[in-house]
Amino acid sequence: MTGPDADPGTSALVELTEVMARLRVGCAWKAGQTHTSLVRYLLEETYETVEAIESGDSEHLREELGDLLLQVWFHAEIAAEEGRFGIEDVAADLVAKMRRRNPHVFAPEEASADAGDPESINEQWERIKAAEKRRGGMMDGVPEELPALLRAVKALDRLDRAGGVPEIDPASADLGVRLLALAAEARATGTDPEQALRAAVRSLVGSDPG
């Protein structure tokens, strides 16, 4: 623990589990939260973390990562109270997934990827993930709630792995098609279109004298 009553030998992560359990009992607001009611906060904290990363401010990032971690612990605590799973189960599943999807690190004899080639590592990851998910449709596993530019890149990735991306006309009269063409252009150059647009908006607002 790191608080005033903490055992100096206790991990802060262990203390966080204890703190969450106490808050769910002693705080009426936190006791009333559900997975569904917390969705808005999970989204807010995710975007605030992205903002902190792009700001380059380490202290801001540390704080926002803590807020994001709180959301993970909150959901795990709710599930634990209902006897479904706890934070240890979440961590154990993640460890198993990382070992399974990174054979080039943990089981080189089973790997299809070159440990020094990021592209082949990503292809290996996607093949293993697809087998685990038993993916049926082209966009299975890609949430519709993703920002449109990010979802467009995911779709282009899936099409590419499935045999090729059809030609997209950047001069189309359809605005959506032109935006998709820009997403394809960004992908081809290794640029994240979401980040690029956010940077452009920040620049625009920063240059606005009003």
pTM equals 0.74
Of 84, 52, 80, 78, the closest CA to residue 65 belongs to 52
Report if residue 59 sits inside a domain: yes
Of 60, 77, 90, the closest CA to residue 16 belongs to 77
pLDDT score, position 96? 96
The verdict on 163 and 179 lying in the same domain is: yes
Single out the residue in 106, 134, 162 at which a domain terminates: 134
Integer CA distances (angstroms), 44 to 47, 64, 78, in order? 5, 10, 19
Report if residue 83 sits inside a domain: yes
Q: Which residues contact 16 (CB under 8 A, 6 or more apart)?
A: 69, 73
**Cβ contact 156:165 at 8 Å:** yes
Q: Which two tokens stand for residue 121?
A: 């590592």
Q: What is the mean pLDDT of residues 171-190?
A: 94
pLDDT score, position 2? 46
Domain range spanning residue 47? 12-88
Tally Cβ neighbours within 10 Å of residue 200. 10
Q: What is the mean pLDDT of residues 39-61?
A: 94
Report if residue 5 sits inside a domain: no
Q: What is the mean pLDDT of residues 122-129?
A: 86
